[in-house]
Amino acid sequence: MNDLNGRVAVVTGAASGIGRAIALCFAEAGAQVVVADRRRDAWHGGAPTDELAEGATFVECDLADPAAVAALVPAVAERHGRLDVLVNNAAVSAGRELLETTDDDWHQVLAVNLTAPFVLSRAAVRQMLTQEPRGEVRGRIINVTSQHGIVAAREDTAYGVSKAALSQLTRQIAAEYAGEGIVCNAVAPGKIETGPSPRAGEPGWQEYWTSRTPWPRLGRPEDVARAARFLAGDEATYITGTTLMVDGGWTAR
């Protein structure tokens, strides 16, 4: 399906994991994808995303760096002439409960998970408002939140709070700019197997994730990517301000 043919899409954190799967899925659907990440190489190995996705380009962008974040959307618009889809995917985690969370942990997580999406979304909306609409829509923003923006994040206070706030940012943008043809939604993954990690190697965590997920397997990056592609396409035009759960039933239990 080439339902994103000719669209220009920015995906943050697209060198690895869920962002990589979204970028590849969008490129397969015909989009010109800008892979924005602080490093080009995938942390779990393999060829860089921009080499695998036809027509993709890589832009180095550290989302903890305010100057780099501020420059991203204007640079994309100057190069491609427009921006059709922004996917705020990149995220970090402190992995600590409240009393163990330092001020530095808090500021780092919110800088990447919330402030960067806010700044990028603001710049994206400014750019989209200057564009002629494709059908009814001038542009789309997709925020990758989490089931932990709906229910508490075990041993990860800053992460859970950041994702809950990103869900509210999604609703704010949708309500404020629907009349201008801006669509904003979120996709909320459950536990997605993205490769080796410290917690993934601990039996206690595997048991926790499995016991909380009604579906008989944990999620894969492609599960989230397909949901994001739906929200990026014309089929989702009258859907805005919502969060699409891709969690195998985690939050339903």
Q: Provide the token pair at 212.
A: 């909380």
Q: Which residues are catalytic?
A: 159
Q: Which residue has the tokens 């579906």?
A: 215
Nearest of 48, 156, 172, 193 to residue 117 by alpha carbon: 172
Q: Provide the token pair at 175.
A: 């309500």
What region does 195 belong to: left with phi over 0, alpha with psi -120 to 50, or beta?
Answer: left
CA separation for the pair 122, 25 (Å, rounded) = 25
Contact 191, 218 (CB under 8 A): yes
**Sequence-ordered list of residues with C-beta below 8 angstroms from that of 184, at least 6 positions apart, any chain:** 121, 140, 141, 142, 143, 170, 173, 174, 177, 240, 241
Contact 26, 85 (CB under 8 A): yes
In sequence order, what DSSP letters do the residues of 3-42 get, joined into one string? TTTT-EEEEETTTSHHHHHHHHHHHHTT-EEEEEES-SS-
**Sequence-ordered list of residues with C-beta below 8 angstroms from that of 104, at least 6 positions apart, any chain:** none
Contact 140, 239 (CB under 8 A): no
